[in-house]
Amino acid sequence: MLHIHNLRAGIEGKEILKGINLDVKPGEVHAIMGPNGSGKSTLASVLSGREEYQVTEGEVTFMGKNLLEMEPEDRAREGIFLAFQYPVEIPGVSTVNFMKTAINQIRTYRGEEPLDAVAFLKLMKEKMKLVEIDQSLLNRALNEGFSGGEKKRNEIFQMAMLEPRLSILDETDSGLDIDALRIVANGVNKLRNPSNATIVVTHYQRLLNYIVPDYVHVLFNGRIVKSGDKELALELEKKGYDWIKNEPATA
Amino acid sequence: MAKDNQILEEITSREYEHGWTANLEADSAPKGLNEDIVRFISRKKQEPDWLLEWRLKAYRAWLTMKEPRWPNVTYPAIDYQDIIYYSAPKQKAAPGSLEEVDPELLKTFEKLGISLTEQKRLTGIAVDAVLDSVSVATTFKEKLGELGIIFCSFSEAVKEHPELVKKYLGSVVPMQDNYFAALNSAVFSDGSFCYIPKGVRCPMELSTYFRINAAKTGQFERTLIVADEDSYVSYLEGCTAPMRDEHQLHAAVVEIYAMKSAHVKYSTVQNWYPGSKEGVGGIYNFVTKRGLCAGDHSKISWTQVETGSAITWKYPSCVLKGDYSSGEFYSVAVTNNHQQADTGTKMIHIGKNTRSRIVSKGISAGLSQNSYRGQVHVLKRAINARNFSQCDSLLMGDRCGAHTFPYIDVENSTARVEHEATTSKIGEDQIFYCRQRGIDEEAAVALIVNGYAKEVLNQLPMEFAVEAQKLLALTLEGSVG
């Protein structure tokens, strides 16, 4: 599904990713861990197409297409979803209106008819139930005055609505208390199926107790220095990141 | 950045949708302005002597006045002798009914999406259509007449209801009020008149649609709305003009007179031709709009969505004379390319316990300049007056300007006046967030701008709100920088 080969990228001339290799297949959950400044969020940004980041080398294909040539909205329409670390406030625009615009633009891109109001409402009700979110939150201006937990739940709701092929959760656990974390993780788990995949970017192992990964990769200094299964995350939790820093790059 | 500018270019090069001209034969006055022209207009309209005298008085007052230079706009001097002050589409005789209206004229309005054929209208809006200098048709007249509501062209009102016109004309905007109001008073050619009798709630939206068609022609229409005690009316105004590479002058006057417990809601979607993206042509929109809350507990609300015109100079105001009367002003003013807008309101608190509320949302893009100018004046006897003002500016790109000029004069210590102002830019983060959800940049801007203007758009009647939203999107799509 996603194939990253020797990806080098940076911002304002400073190289942050120094040759990333990663393959993600349908049905898989990959966790990307690493200390602050290792390049985790940069990877999420580059995959979703943030324009301030420049790719200097390497290739990324998604469903066989060259991802790096696509506009951010086309990546989204092809099925890439980024759950933001800091969801953005859009005053005066409700989540309902926002999602309706998004879904219909995506459907148009895919050559499908736009959803009418009734069909949209039905879909929304179904997904609301799935991720346990309240209608009143969805009628409010997007993320405006939301608590940290509400923002993240809203992200997962959007993910449910858009049914992406590949979801990238960027530090979704940051700023969440344990109850909010559980609700968010539950939502993600319910959305898992054999045809979609998830990349969980996180600093702490905690989230991985709830969203159990098939693979864990440790990112350090712009490279994946170690890969393993969920046991690796537990080991990191125990030992910290220091011991990893001395490992040679596996790439 | 370069890419954003490119998108801006692409979008702003989009053609003005209403830029066509209709091939109508016109009956015009010779170019220029003098007392003979004023007499010519009055004669054409078969006016009574008192009105001609009123016009001449206004004309003589105008001669002694100076064009205002205080607005934050620049334009070359207007040659008032190079303008045609009267142009009427040629019709055999005054149409007695819609069937007699020139089909070419009806087509002109059909093209604008305004059907004047009553049977075809489902929306339940009565329309008075004004082309160049004259009103061409008013719909639903009989139905409104059953309720005692008078809704007709200004010329007709002069003939049919002279006592009302004589009593209220100039009662809110005196002829010598300002330079452009004086000019209008001298040469106004038509417009709409509306009277809602005591205790009547007008069952449909009343609407005037203005269209400038002829070249080199100024449009000077006058609207007078009189709401008797305990009445209610919602009034809509729309306007468009062809694309021409010279500037055309539009100097209108709107007067609203609200008696005890009357409520008048006046909404405008102003879409005059804004000029080309290089700043050639476009309408100079110099308009005086004022409402008088004459009676206790009366209320006047102005809502405006201003997207057109090369220059806009306009301050819909409320004079709160009656005790417990209230005034509202909701505005979205958008400027792009070389447009300039200096717009806002005046709230004059005279009566006790008067209230006013101002919500102004300015959006500037391209090389445009957008100013909010507002005055809140609490007079000595206005005990317990309250005002709340909110003025927000949204900037798109780094070559436009947003300015706020609030004037607050309070002469009574019991007054409470609040003023809030913000200036913001559409964030790259907001745009990216939308794009990551599959929404392209243009739709993202439309979404964000409509969200920003929502408080004002919510004030518009339904059909108008939809039109206004589309217009905002069309004016601004992609203007990110």
Read off the pLDDT of residues B276-285 as tens digits, 9 standing for 90 and up: 777 788 888 8
User: Which residues does chain A have within 8 Å of residue B3's beta carbon, measured at their own beta carbons?
Assistant: 51
Interface list for A 202-221 with B (CB within 8 A): none
Mind spelling out the 3-state secondary structure of chain B?
CHHHHHHHHHHHCCCCCCCCCCCCCEEECCCCCCHHHHHHHHHHCCCCHHHHHHHHHHHHHHHCCCCCCCCCCCCCCCCHHHCECCEEECCCCCCCCHHHCCHHHHHHHHHCCCCCCHHHCCCCEEEEEEECCEEEEECCHHHHHHCCCEEEEHHHHHHHCHHHHHHHCCCCCCCCCCHHHHHHHHHCCEEEEEEECCCCECCCEEEEEEECCCCCECECEEEEEEECCCCEEEEEEEEECCCCCCEEEECCEEEEEECCCCEEEEEEEECCCCCCCCCCCEEEEEEEEEEEECCCCCEEEEEEEECCCCEEEECCEEEECCCCCEEEEEEEEEECCCCEEEEEEEEEECCCCCEEEEEEEEEECCCCEEEEEEEEEECCCCCCCEEEEEEEEEECCCCCEEEEEEEEEECCCCCEEEEEEEEEECCHHHHHHHHHCCCCHHHHHHHHHHHHCHHHHCCCCHHHHHHHHHHHHHHHCCCCC
| Partner-chain residue, chosen from A73, A81, A158, that has the shortest CB–CB distance to B435 | A73
How far is the C-alpha of A29 from the C-alpha of B384, rounded, in Å?
A: 65
pLDDT at B107 over 70: no
User: Between chains, do A92 and B427 touch, taking CB under 8 Å as contact?
Assistant: no
A99 → chain B, closest CA residue: B437
Candidates B432, B469, B480: best to mutate against A (most CBs of A within 10 A) is: B432
Read off the pLDDT of residues B206-221 as tens digits, 9 standing for 90 and up: 888 776 666 667 788 8
Candidates A101, A157, A166: best to mutate against B (most CBs of B within 10 A) is: A101
More confident residue, B321 or B207: B321
Interface list for B 394-453 with A (CB within 8 A): 427, 429-430, 432-441, 443, 447-448, 450-453
User: Between chains, do B436 and A77 touch, taking CB under 8 Å as contact?
Assistant: no
Read off the tokens for A8.
């080098």
- Determine contact: B473 vs chain A, CB below 8 A: no
DSSP classification of residue A176: -
Asked whether the CA dihedral A145, A147, A150, A152 is positive or negative, the reply is positive
pLDDT along chain A (251 residues), means of 10: 95 92 96 89 94 94 95 96 94 93 95 92 92 89 91 93 95 83 88 94 87 92 90 84 67 43
How far is the C-alpha of A7 from the C-alpha of B399, rounded, in Å?
A: 37
Other CB atoms within 10 A of residue B143 CB: 15
Of B127-131, B164-168, B237-241, B471-475, which one has max mean pLDDT?
B164-168
Strand partners, B300: B264, B327
**Å from A162 to nearest chain B CA?**
8
User: Between chains, do B438 and A87 touch, taking CB under 8 Å as contact?
Assistant: no
| Partner-chain residue, chosen from B430, B432, B455, that has the shortest CB–CB distance to A72 | B432
pLDDT category at B4 given cuts 50, 70, 90 is very low
User: Between chains, do A102 and B433 touch, taking CB under 8 Å as contact?
Assistant: no
Q: What is the mean pLDDT of residues B100-116?
A: 60
User: Which residues does chain A have within 8 Å of residue B455's beta carbon, measured at their own beta carbons?
Assistant: 92
**Å from A180 to nearest chain B CA?**
22
User: Between chains, do B439 and A105 touch, taking CB under 8 Å as contact?
Assistant: yes
Read off the pLDDT of residues B435-447 as tens digits, 9 standing for 90 and up: 999 999 888 988 9
Of B212-216, B349-353, B364-368, which one has max mean pLDDT?
B349-353
Q: What is the mean pLDDT of residues B337-350?
A: 92
User: Which residues does chain A have within 8 Å of residue B451's beta carbon, measured at their own beta carbons?
Assistant: 90-93, 141
**DSSP H or E run through A5:** strand A2-11
Helix (H, G, I), strand (E, B) or coil at A12: coil
pLDDT at A198: 95
User: Between chains, do B438 and A73 touch, taking CB under 8 Å as contact?
Assistant: yes
How far is the C-alpha of B428 from the C-alpha of B186, rounded, in Å?
A: 51
Helix (H, G, I), strand (E, B) or coil at A235: helix
Predicted ipTM beyond 0.90: yes
Candidates A53, A71, A86, A88: best to mutate against B (most CBs of B within 10 A) is: A88
B429 → chain A, closest CA residue: A88
User: Which residues does chain A have within 8 Å of residue B454's beta carbon, measured at their own beta carbons?
Assistant: 92-93
- Determine contact: A12 vs chain B, CB below 8 A: no
pLDDT at B114 over 70: no
**Å from A72 to nearest chain B CA?**
6
User: Between chains, do A105 and B440 touch, taking CB under 8 Å as contact?
Assistant: yes
**DSSP H or E run through A81:** strand A80-83
Read off the pLDDT of residues A131-187 as tens digits, 9 standing for 90 and up: 888 889 999 999 999 988 899 999 999 999 999 999 999 988 887 888 888 888 998
User: Between chains, do A50 and B432 touch, taking CB under 8 Å as contact?
Assistant: yes
Would you put residue B255 in left (φ > 0), alpha (ψ -120 to 50) or beta?
beta
User: Which residues does chain A have within 8 Å of residue B441's beta carbon, measured at their own beta carbons?
Assistant: 73
pLDDT at B7: 44
How far is the C-alpha of A238 from the C-alpha of A232, rounded, in Å?
A: 10
How far is the C-alpha of A92 from the C-alpha of A106, rounded, in Å?
A: 22
Q: What is the mean pLDDT of residues B4-20?
A: 52
More confident residue, B157 or B138: B157
B455 → chain A, closest CA residue: A92
User: Between chains, do A93 and B440 touch, taking CB under 8 Å as contact?
Assistant: no
Question: Domain locations in chain B?
Answer: 24-427
- Determine contact: A106 vs chain B, CB below 8 A: yes
Candidates B394, B424, B433: best to mutate against A (most CBs of A within 10 A) is: B433
- Determine contact: A38 vs chain B, CB below 8 A: no
Q: What is the mean pLDDT of residues B384-397?
A: 92
Read off the pLDDT of residues B253-270 as tens digits, 9 standing for 90 and up: 999 999 999 999 999 888
User: What is the interface size between A and B, counted as CB pairs within 8 Å?
Assistant: 76
Collect all residues with Cβ–Cβ distance below 8 Å to A125 and sequence separation of at least 6. none
User: Which residues does chain B have within 8 Å of residue A84's beta carbon, measured at their own beta carbons?
Assistant: 433, 436
How far is the C-alpha of B415 from the C-alpha of B126, rounded, in Å?
A: 40
B453 → chain A, closest CA residue: A92
User: Between chains, do A72 and B430 touch, taking CB under 8 Å as contact?
Assistant: no
User: Which residues does chain B have within 8 Å of residue A88's beta carbon, measured at their own beta carbons?
Assistant: 427, 429-430, 432-433
- Determine contact: A49 vs chain B, CB below 8 A: yes
